[in-house]
């Protein structure tokens, strides 16, 4: 669907279509530090997109894996001490190798120690911060708890914000995309946010503009969810169907279905 | 199906129907210490029921998560040292906050050290002990190995016993429900018992009588399994279909399908 | 399909058919040290085959679990320090109890420390080494990097090589089977190789000739994949369908569909 009155919409949809094809063509390696709840689903979503996941968190070898990867995801879910050590080493390797990485501060609204740790990672230069509104409010709140605006926070931290919700918002200091794809069942399947973050990392591996990569990731993810929702009988079959949908998704379908404002 | 000759049957079915609706309405938070094999399936079953799962086992933050939860599951599967520390802290937080918790002593019939540990947790006051016959025999055996009766064990330990099997038995000192729902494929999918324990925890969060909550949980779980079995082609599609079935299950269907004696 | 000109083909197919039925009849216990990404899928594949999985890696209890098992899988994926300790203890228990075990050196082509560790395990006597070509090249390479032939490597290390690929190759010093079953989507689902290794361990539990057991495992696995591919819409539904297919697979279908040369 071309929208001559909203060229912005068409642009994101076209980037997304192009980036989706690049994933299939280049098969980027994405190393994921993620929680055990999410590992299997995340790996299968990355494979469905065309990427190659790896997931080790052993301190002895994670630097080697990250150095050989094209992007890194650091997800704070079920964050035990070994994962924390692994994240430190992995992020150092990513920074050294100029490998783009995504920070996903899962559930920092539930535990203060986790929020503090997320802040300490944010200054180490992730390209994208993928999170939901409750998590953003914690991270972006000032001393009185009032959060910064998304664009201000993005500018101050030199990071793209990819905020998942009924409408996804992807913003850097100057650009904002609002993505209206997705499906209600996405909130009823565990690890959906984690998988969206992993797909964002994959897109960063094949697109150097992190805002474009992040907007493309959430557009692709939302469209796969919409397609899955058309055949699912509930959250179980939805989780299976979104993997199939992402695997089969082509650029043309993305351009047709993208709802970006 | 109303059974005027067996008012007991109708009662459990009606509790179950009512508790199922409460899960959807109140969306209780359930913190789960469970094994990596079971985490994803358990989280998705809780989400399908209407509950909100969390799964961290990091010692620094688990107390905060439990304090903010409405129920706790402590499952002994793949029980490494970090999970053991986490369980100690989590149960202390549950006891302090008067948060109901479920003990699932997975495979204690296979390892003596695990059985000993399960006994040390049992005295800390779980509302419900969810297990199978082999596990019960180990835990309830006297020095000569002869197990106590279920009702005696429930009375002596002030705990509801939720015993899974072809017929599920839920008993406290004075009441016993025998639940005949379920499907043969449940024994061919990993983590089914773990998910039943997690659902029991969710029901304890919205029903203060632990016997009613536990009988409701196994009735709901069994009916979801029966419905799943009607469309499944094997254990793979069954695991997907039971999530769908639990998500779609309403009170009326529960009353119609419950086989409780 | 009987091939009078290729009696070898018929032999492997018939062993596979027979071993498949033995799995169902004997329900062997298979203890798996495997990565968190693979645990759930591996457990469900073993259950679908008729085996009983266990997965603990706690140092205090793993020896007990292995001693009570009929086969062991040691898989190096996401190989943290606790898993490494667990593997040491588990392999010692397997050797002591003469329990057959499978080594799956996942991704040793990506991390030198992992390759070194795999070599140290290989000398401890696994019955079968299940891996892909990239992993074999690392393990079998001499100082100049030129790999030994499969049969030479099998003879020198007294191990059966089960090499997964478009054509699977199962070889010991004197016998080689080339298995042409399988489906392209197997490369797009995580933990497929891990599950194949677990099934190999299960087959070793019911067949004392490790070459026959390993060739049977990959034949059974490949046929289940082929059947799954006939109904799957993508890798998500494929992962579900292969569990169903393995569960329903009987000896007659194996003999009909086996493509072994």
Which 3-state string (H, E, C) describes chain C? Answer: CCCCCCHHHHHHHHHHHHHHHHHHHHCCEEEEECCCCCHHHHHHHHHHHCCEEECCCCCCCHHHHHHCCCEEEEECCCCCHHHHHHHHHHHHHHHHCCCCEEEECCCCCCCHHHHHHHHHHHCCCCCEEEEEHHHHHHHHECCCCCECCHHHHHHHHCCEEEEECCCEEEECCCCEEEECCCCHHHHHCCCHHHHHHHHHHHHHHHCCCHHHHHHHHHHHHHHHHHHHHHHCCCHHHHHHHHHHHHHHCCHHHHHHHCCEC
Mean pLDDT computed over every residue of chain C: 92
Q: Cα(C234)–Cα(B143) distance, rounded to whole angstroms?
A: 55
Task: Quote the distance between the C-alpha of residue B152 and its chain's center.
Answer: 20
pLDDT tens sequence across A239-258? 999 999 999 999 999 999 99
CB proximity list for C219: less than 8 A, separation 6 or greater: C12, C13, C16, C177, C179, C181, C254, C258, C260
On whether any CB of chain C is under 8 Å from the CB of B229, the answer is no
Determine the pLDDT at residue A59: 86
**pLDDT surpassing 70 at residue C189:** yes
Q: Is the pLDDT of residue B151 over 80?
A: yes
pLDDT-derived band at B107 (thresholds 50, 70, 90) equals: confident
Neighbours of A179 (CB within 10 A): 29
- Residue-wise over A120-141: b if at least 16 C-beta within 10 A, else e? ebbeeebbbbbbbeebbebbbe
- Residues near A157 by beta carbon (within 8 Å), at least 6 away in sequence: A122, A123, A129
Tell me, what's the pLDDT at B4? 47
Give the pLDDT band of residue C84 (cuts 50, 70, 90): confident
pTM comes to 0.95
User: Inter-chain contact A190–B47, Cβ cutoff 8 Å?
Assistant: yes
Cβ of C43 under 8 Å from any chain A Cβ?
no
What value does the mean pLDDT take over residues C171-183?
Answer: 96
Band of residue B32 on the pLDDT scale cut at 50, 70, 90: very high
Give the pLDDT mean for B3-28. 83
DSSP element (H, E) containing A30 = strand A29-33
Choose, out of C105, C116, C190, the residue to mutate when testing the contact with A (most A CBs < 10 Å). C190
Mean pLDDT, rounded, for A23-39: 95
Mean pLDDT (whole number) for B126-152: 88
Query: Which residues of chain C neighbour B239 with C-beta distances below 8 Å?
Result: 44, 240, 243
For residue A79, the chain B residues in CB contact (below 8 A) are 56, 58, 61
**Rounded Cα distance, B192 and A199, in Å:** 30
Task: Please give the average per-residue pLDDT across A95-117, as a whole number.
Answer: 91
**Is the confidence at residue C101, as pLDDT, over 80?**
yes
B22 pLDDT more than 50: yes
Predicted confidence at residue A82, as pLDDT, reads 77
Residue C33 sits at the chain B interface (C-beta within 8 Å): no
Residues 140-199 of chain C with CB under 8 A from chain B are none
Residue of A nearest to B237 (CA): A237
State yes or no: pLDDT of B18 exceeds 80: yes
Please report which confidence band the pLDDT of residue C9 belongs to, taking 50, 70 and 90 as the band edges. low
pLDDT in tens, A177-213: 999 999 999 999 999 999 999 999 999 999 999 999 9
Average pLDDT over residues C90-115: 93
Give residue B35's pLDDT band: very low, low, confident or very high (50, 70, 90). confident
pLDDT value of position A120: 93
Contact C236 A48 (CB under 8 A): yes
Q: What is the mean pLDDT of residues B119-148?
A: 89
pLDDT of residue A217: 98
CA–CA dist A53, A172 (Å, integer): 27
Sheet harboring A71-75: ordered strands across?
Answer: A52-54, A29-33, A71-75, A101-104, A128-132, A160-164, A168-171, A176-179
The dihedrals phi and psi of B86, each to the nearest 5 degrees, come to -60, -40
Which range among A24-38, B149-163, C69-83, C138-152 shows the weakest confidence by mean pLDDT? C138-152
Q: Is the pLDDT assigned to residue A155 strictly greater than 80?
A: yes
| C240–chain B Cβ distance below 8 A for any pair | yes
- Residue C10 pLDDT exceeds 80: no
Of B37, B114, B232, nearest to C39 by CB-CB distance is B37
Q: Does the distance separating the beta carbons of B35 and C61 come in below 8 Å?
A: no
User: Would the pLDDT of B80 be above 80?
Assistant: no
**Residue A8: which pLDDT band, with cuts at 50, 70 and 90?**
low
pLDDT at C1: 43
More confident residue, A106 or C222: C222
Q: Which residue in chain A is spatially nearest to B59 when comparing CA positions?
A: A80
Q: What is the pLDDT of residue C144?
A: 72
Check the CA dihedral A27-A33-A34-A35 and report its sign: positive
What's the mean pLDDT when you consider all of chain B? Answer: 92
Looking at every residue in chain A, the average pLDDT score rounds to 92
> For residues C32 and C69, what is the distance between their CA atoms, to the nearest angstrom?
10
Q: Does A240 lie at the interface with C, CB-CB under 8 angstroms?
A: yes
A51 interaction partners in chain C (CB closer than 8 Å):
none
Q: Do B55 and A78 touch (CB under 8 A)?
A: yes
Closest partner residue to A110 (CB to CB) among B36, B68, B243 is B68
CB C241 to CB B240 under 8 A?
Answer: no
Question: Is 80 exceeded by the pLDDT of residue B258?
Answer: yes
Q: Which residue of B has its CA nearest to A79?
A: B58
Of B195, B160, B192, the closest CA to residue B177 belongs to B160
Q: Are residues C189 and A57, on separate chains, in Cβ contact within 8 Å? A: no
Q: Inter-chain contact C61–B113, Cβ cutoff 8 Å?
A: yes
Contacting subunits of B (3+ beta carbon pairs below 8 A)? A, C
Subunits close to C (at least 3 CB pairs below 8 A): A, B
- Judge whether B198 and B32 are in contact, CB under 8 Å: yes
CB contact under 8 A, B237 and C245: no
State the pLDDT at residue B8: 57
- Find the closest chain B residue to A232 by CA distance: B244
pLDDT of residue A4: 47
Strands B29-33 and B52-54 come out as: parallel
pLDDT for A78 equals: 66
A67, pLDDT greater than 50: yes
- Do residues C62 and C90 lie in contact, with contact meaning Cβ atoms separated by under 8 Å? yes
Using 50, 70 and 90 to split pLDDT, how confident is the model at C143?
Answer: low
Identify the residue with better confidence: B51 or C6.
B51
From the list B5, B50, B4, the residue with the least C-alpha distance to B29 is B50
Contact list in C for residue A53 (CB cut-off 8 A) is: 190
- Look up residue B184 and give its DSSP letter: G
Give the pLDDT score at C7.
53
Token code pair at residue C221: 């696995």
β C71-75/C101-104 pair status: parallel
Average pLDDT over residues C77-98: 88
Mean pLDDT of the C6-29 span: 88
pLDDT score for C2: 47
Closest CA to C245 of C219, C217, C226: C226
Question: Where is average pLDDT lowest: A230-234, B92-96, B148-152, C95-99?
Answer: B148-152
Q: Which residue has the tokens 């799964």?
A: B55
Q: Kindly list the distances between the CA atom of residue C187 and the CA atoms of A123, C90, C182, C183, C250, in Å, as whole numbers in the listed order.
A: 37, 29, 10, 8, 24
DSSP string, A178-246: EE----GGGGGSTTHHHHHHHHHHHHHHH-S-HHHHHHHHHHHHHHHHHHHHHH-SSHHHHHHHHHHHH
Length of chain B: 261
Structure confidence at residue B97 (pLDDT): 97
Note the pLDDT tens digit of each residue in C194-221: 999 999 999 999 999 999 999 999 999 9
pLDDT at position A16: 97
Please give the ipTM for the structure prediction: 0.93
pLDDT of residue C239: 98
Long-range contacts of A135-140 (CB under 8 A, 24+ apart): A135/A105, A135/A106, A135/A107, A135/A108, A135/A109, A136/A161, A136/A163, A137/A109, A138/A108, A138/A109, A139/A105, A139/A108, A139/A115
Asked if pLDDT for residue C260 goes beyond 70, the answer is yes
Q: Enter the DSSP assignment of A100.
A: -
State whether residue C37 sits within 8 Å of chain A by CB. Answer: yes
- Give the pLDDT band (50/70/90) at residue A3: very low
């Amino acid at each position: 669907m071309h929208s001559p009155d909203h060229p912005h919409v068409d642009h994101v949809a076209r980037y997304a279509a192009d980036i989706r094809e690049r994933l299939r063509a280049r098969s980027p390696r994405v190393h994921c530090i993620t929680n055990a709840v999410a590992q299997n689903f995340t790996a299968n979503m990355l494979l469905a997109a065309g990427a190659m996941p790896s997931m080790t968190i052993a301190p002895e070898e994670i630097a080697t894996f990250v150095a050989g990867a094209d992007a890194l995801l650091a997800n704070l879910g079920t964050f035990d001490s070994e994962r924390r050590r692994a994240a430190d080493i992995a992020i150092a390797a990513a920074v050294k190798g100029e490998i783009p990485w995504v920070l996903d501060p899962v559930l920092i609204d539930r535990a203060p120690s986790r929020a503090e740790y997320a802040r300490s990672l944010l200054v180490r230069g992730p390209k994208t911060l993928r999170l939901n509104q409750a998590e953003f409010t914690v991270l972006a709140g000032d001393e009185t708890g009032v959060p910064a605006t998304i664009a201000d926070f993005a500018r101050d931290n030199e990071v793209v914000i990819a905020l998942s919700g009924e409408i996804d918002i992807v913003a850097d200091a100057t650009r904002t995309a609002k993505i209206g794809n997705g499906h209600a069942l996405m909130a009823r399947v565990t690890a959906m946010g984690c998988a969206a973050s992993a797909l964002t990392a994959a897109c960063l591996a094949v697109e150097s503009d992190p805002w474009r990569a992040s907007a493309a990731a959430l557009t692709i993810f939302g469209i796969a969810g919409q397609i899955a929702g058309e055949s699912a009988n509930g959250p179980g079959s939805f989780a299976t169907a979104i993997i199939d949908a992402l695997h089969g998704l082509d650029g043309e379908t993305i351009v047709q279905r993208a709802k970006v404002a």
